[in-house]
Each structure stands twice: as structure tokens, then as C-alpha cells.
């Protein structure tokens, strides 16, 4: 998952065998056990003729696009259909080609059609020579039957601190978003789930004429990969799951884990910053640094800090919790906020790079058409319909927000406050229980703000055939392709199929030398405090 915040001050930019093929046994839930309608669609997918064309005149000539036709409801294959937009860059060495490498950037709500282009800049030659790089927009996203809820910018704001006075308006907002999404998307909404996207992935596999697929998924894409491996274990070849989602915490728990992970990251930051008091002057001890920060928060709540024309409240500062996973950037951001507060005058802060996400290249067809709220709409569509464990009583959210703010002061109330899922209709089927033994490789930074280390450990525990590489001291969300110490292991696995004999830990360089893999800028749910 990716947190979804616009870049501003400390407001950090912090934002997946055929359909039950007869020869591919499944170890998933009873819902996967080969209903005849789903199995009957296999031959249709395999027989689809893909009309590959250059994606756009401005794109590289090697970058081709096509569509795969799939059922909206796999239990009713003769019913309404969706066109799933896919793309490819062919393997650079046909004589070495192993197959296809499907790519997903995360989300939910992340468009992946352009991934072959920017991943071809980051993946090593040995991987590109062996695989066709395959991108796709998941159902409901971008060019694949995009959803829209007709939401205003304000209605897309979803990181909301708990306050007794504003909780009734938060409940109204959540109910309004759910109502608009239901009204705007009709029968489509219950079927925009990870399980159905996994089925779409298998339709893509069949249409490409491949017996198996390899896969590289980031963030939410790790959950999508895990679900595919659960549903179609005989079709999963080499799977790399980068910055992993814990399948046991879908989905409210994965938002709450941001608060749980923020506290140790904040403690680490106070220690690191105290050791560099000569540079940052925020306190000589961790206790003093902590005091400086919370005084700043209280001060901003009383009198918002104005930076570049924006009013920054204490809640805004807390909402930027993701920055504390990167100690240097956090120290620089807090220093800038403190200077602005002390000056009492508007000033332009020097924004650390982590607060300015780089956008990947986009080309004509891949960038066009989807409504402005598509990222938000598709995010809620998956998060709410994937599971049936969202509480329905608003008072549950109130209670949890109060409790978790006391337990996790930085972000606990944000993570437990009410969402549109409280008022969402049921998805088409229950969530997937992930417990397969498909071989896979999990990559995890120790200090990842969006999928904190316990999340990666949970994914490793669920994926019983996996090995895990932990980057000790690693900061940032997204590893493979960044030049990390984990890259060599991932490349070896993708090119030879050899997993490490045991889990590995490697050491990250000093924070100033680290960089993150370039993933798409957040597309869903802009957020702000109050």
C-alpha cells in the first residue's frame, strides 16, 4: 500500500493455469474450487487474438499495447465484459527468453500500463533479456474500465484525525463517498476485487499463450501476487514480492499498521537527531527532541504555520508520519517547520526529496481518459470489497480511534478513524486465505513506512514457500531496481530460479546514500489534516 498525500512541507507523499484450469489444483478457499462457468472461460481466453499496436507515437517503438477481454463476473462468463489494457516490451534476447514478467506498482488504484517503460530503465540487462515485461491496468483503473465516484477534491481527503467535534462530519463524509460510488458504478462495484484481478492476470497469461507467469509486484502488488499464487499455484513461476502486505491484515489492519510502525520509527528518529544536535539543534537527547517535536505540534494546532501560502496544523504534521521512517529527511523537514513557526512569517520551505515523488513517464493512451477521482475510487473499491471484516457501527471507529491515539500518539487516531468501507456493499466473495507453498522471494526494508517490517514478516509467514531478504537500516518503499543490497538476490532468482537457502539480511548504506525505486506517484485519495 502507498500513503496518499500531496507533497507539501512535512505532508509526505505517502499512496496486485487459467481461471481454475483443470490441470492446476488450487489450495485456496472453497470459492476457488472450479465452478464450471469459470473453468469454461479458459479456452476463450487462450483463443483471444491480441491486436498489438504501438502504445503512442511519443512512446518507444518497442512499447506495445493491446486489450484482453474478461468477464465482469467470472461466475457469469457470458455476461458483461471488461477490456483489460495490457502492454509489453519484448525480451531483448529472444534466444534466452524464459517467458513473461507481469508487473504491478501497488495501490490499490495504481495504474501499471506504463511499467514496462520505466522498469526497463531500472531492471538489469540479464532480466530484460529473459522476459517480456508485461504491464497492465487492473480492472477499474486507468484504461481498464475505470471507475469514478464523482468525488470532489475535498471528498477524496481521507486521512482524518479523530476529534469528538468533527466525528459526525467524518461519518457523513464516509457515508456520502460510499453512496456516490455505489450510484456511479452500479453492478460493477462488487467485482472490483483482488481475487478478480488475479483471475484477470491469469486471463492475460492464457491470452499470451504462456503456461506460467513470473511476477514482480510492489506494495499492494505483493498481495495481488500472493492471491494469484494461492488461486493458481501451478501457474506461478518466479514471484518477487517487494515491500510486502500482510495478507492477514487486509485491509483495515494494513492502515492501522501505519500507526504501529510509526512509533518505533519516530523513536529511532529522536535518537538519530539527538546525536546530531550540533547540526539540527532539535535537542541533545531523544527526550529533548521528542519534546521539541510535540511542542511544535501543539503550537501549530493553536496557530497554524504558514509555509508557501499553506496553513500547516499540528494534525497536518502528525499526518506526515511517513517521513520519520527516513531520519535525515525528517530532521530537515522538522527544522524547516520550526524555522517557519519561529519567524512568524510566511516562508518557502526547502522540501526534502522524499516529499516530492517522481512521476513516471506517461504516453498518450496510457495517460488519458480516467476521471480525476479514479485513483481514489478504485482504491476504495478494492479495499472495501476485498474483505467483509470492516465494522459497520460508527461507534466502533470512534472507540478505536480514541484508544489508538493514546497508544500510538503520532498517527493512531488517523489509522482507526471511520472510512467509506463502513457503509460499503459486500464484495462478490470473501477474502482469500493465503497459506500456499509457492516458491517466492520477499524483499523488505527495515524502515518502510507503507508496509512496515512486521507486514513483510506477516507476508513471509503466510507464503510458506518464500524466502525473505531484509535490508537492515533500509529506508523507503520499494527496493528492487534501486541499487539496494537486495537487488543481487532478486536478479539471481529471476534469472536462475534459485532462491536463497535461508532468509537473508543485508546492510543498507547510510541514509544520505540511499535511494528508492521509482514507482508511480500516488494516484488515490489526496489527504490533509485540519
The set of catalytic residues is 219, 448, 477
Q: To which H or E segment does residue 238 belong?
A: strand 236-242
Neighbours of 109 (CB within 10 A): 32
Residue 499: all three cell numbers together: 532462491
Pairing of β 64-71 and β 53-54:
antiparallel
CA distance 426 to 447: 34
Q: How far apart are CA 166 and CA 43, in angstroms?
A: 54
The residue among 513, 515, 516, 510 whose CA lies nearest residue 472 is: 510
Query: Could you give the C-alpha distances from 139 to 28, 84, 113, 278, 378, in angstroms and in order?
Result: 22, 6, 12, 52, 9
Beta bridge partners of 470: 444, 505
Report the candidate in 300, 291, 356 with the shortest Cα–Cα distance to residue 323.
356
Tell me whether residue 187 is exposed, middle or buried, using C-beta atoms within 10 angstroms of its C-beta: 0 to 12, 13 to 18, 19 or more.
exposed
Residues 282, 273: Cα–Cα separation, whole Å: 7
501/492 Cα distance (integer angstroms): 13
> 81: helix, coil or strand?
strand
And the C-alpha cell for 326? Answer: 527516513
> Cβ(189)–Cβ(147) under 8 Å?
yes
Residues 6+ apart with CB under 8 A from 220: 1, 2, 16, 104, 106, 107, 108, 110, 245
Amino acid at each position: 500500500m502507498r500513503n496518499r498525500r500531496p507533497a507539501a512541507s512535512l505532508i509526505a507523499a505517502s499512496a496486485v493455469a487459467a481461471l481454475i484450469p483443470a490441470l492446476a489444483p488450487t489450495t485456496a478457499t472453497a470459492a476457488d474450487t472450479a465452478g464450471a462457468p469459470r473453468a469454461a472461460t479458459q479456452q476463450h481466453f487462450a483463443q483471444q487474438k491480441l491486436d498489438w499496436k504501438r502504445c503512442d507515437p511519443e512512446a518507444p517503438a518497442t512499447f506495445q499495447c493491446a486489450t484482453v477481454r474478461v468477464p465482469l463476473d467470472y461466475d457469469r462468463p457470458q455476461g458483461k465484459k471488461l477490456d483489460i489494457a495490457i502492454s509489453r516490451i519484448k525480451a531483448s534476447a529472444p534466444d534466452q527468453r524464459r517467458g513473461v514478467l507481469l508487473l504491478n506498482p501497488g495501490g490499490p488504484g495504481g495504474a501499471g500500463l506504463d511499467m514496462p517503460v520505466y522498469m526497463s530503465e531500472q531492471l538489469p540487462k540479464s532480466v530484460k533479456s529473459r522476459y517480456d515485461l508485461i504491464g497492465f491496468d487492473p480492472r477499474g483503473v486507468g484504461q481498464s474500465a475505470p471507475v469514478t465516484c464523482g468525488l470532489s477534491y475535498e471528498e477524496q481527503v481521507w486521512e482524518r484525525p479523530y476529534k469528538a467535534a468533527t466525528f459526525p462530519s467524518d461519518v457523513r463524509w464516509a457515508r456520502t463517498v460510499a453512496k456516490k460510488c455505489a450510484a456511479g458504478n452500479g453492478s460493477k462495484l462488487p467485482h472490483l476485487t483482488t481475487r478478480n484481478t488475479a483471475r484477470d492476470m491469469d486471463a492475460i497469461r492464457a491470452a499470451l499463450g504462456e503456461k506460467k507467469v513470473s511476477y514482480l509486484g510492489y506494495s499492494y502488488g505483493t498481495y495481488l501476487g500472493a492471491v494469484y499464487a494461492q488461486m493458481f499455484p501451478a501457474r506461478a513461476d518466479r514471484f518477487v514480492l517487494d515491500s510486502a502486505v500482510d495478507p492477514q491484515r487486509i485491509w483495515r489492519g494494513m492502515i492501522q499498521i501505519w500507526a504501529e510502525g510509526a512509533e518505533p520509527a519516530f523513536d529511532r528518529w529522536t535518537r538519530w537527531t539527538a546525536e546530531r544536535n550540533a547540526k539540527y539543534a532539535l535537542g541533545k537527547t531523544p527526550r529533548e527532541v521528542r519534546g521539541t517535536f510535540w511542542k511544535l505540534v501543539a503550537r501549530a494546532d493553536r496557530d497554524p504555520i504558514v509555509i508557501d501560502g499553506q496553513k500547516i496544523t499540528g494534525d497536518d504534521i502528525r499526518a506526515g508520519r511517513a517521513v520519520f521512517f527516513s531520519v535525515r529527511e525528517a530532521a530537515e523537514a522538522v527544522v524547516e517547520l520550526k524555522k517557519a513557526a519561529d519567524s512568524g512569517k510566511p516562508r518557502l520551505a526547502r522540501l526534502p526529496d522524499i516529499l516530492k515523488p517522481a512521476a513516471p513517464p506517461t504516453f498518450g493512451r496510457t495517460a488519458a481518459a480516467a476521471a480525476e477521482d479514479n485513483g481514489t475510487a478504485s482504491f476504495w473499491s478494492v479495499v472495501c470489497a476485498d474483505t467483509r471484516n470492516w465494522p459497520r457501527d460508527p461507534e466502533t471507529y470512534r472507540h478505536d480511534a480514541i484508544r489508538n491515539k493514546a497508544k500510538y500518539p503520532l498517527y493512531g487516531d488517523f489509522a482507526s478513524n471511520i472510512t467509506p468501507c463502513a457503509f460499503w456493499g459486500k464484495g462478490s466473495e470473501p477474502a482469500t486465505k493465503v497459506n500456499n507453498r509457492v516458491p517466492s522471494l520477499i524483499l523488505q526494508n527495515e524502515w518502510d513506512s507503507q508496509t512496515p517490517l512486521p507486514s513483510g514478516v506477516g507476508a513471509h509467514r503466510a507464503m510458506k514457500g518464500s524466502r525473505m531478504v531484509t535490508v537492515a537500516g533500509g529506508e523507503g518503499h520499494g527496493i528492487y531496481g534501486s541499487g539496494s543490497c537486495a537487488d543481487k538476490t532478486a536478479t539471481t532468482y529471476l534469472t536462475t530460479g534459485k532462491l536463497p537457502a535461508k532468509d537473508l539480511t543485508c546492510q543498507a548504506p547510510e541514509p544520505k546514500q540511499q535511494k528508492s525505486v521509482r514507482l508511480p506517484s500516488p494516484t488515490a485519495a489526496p489527504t490533509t489534516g485540519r
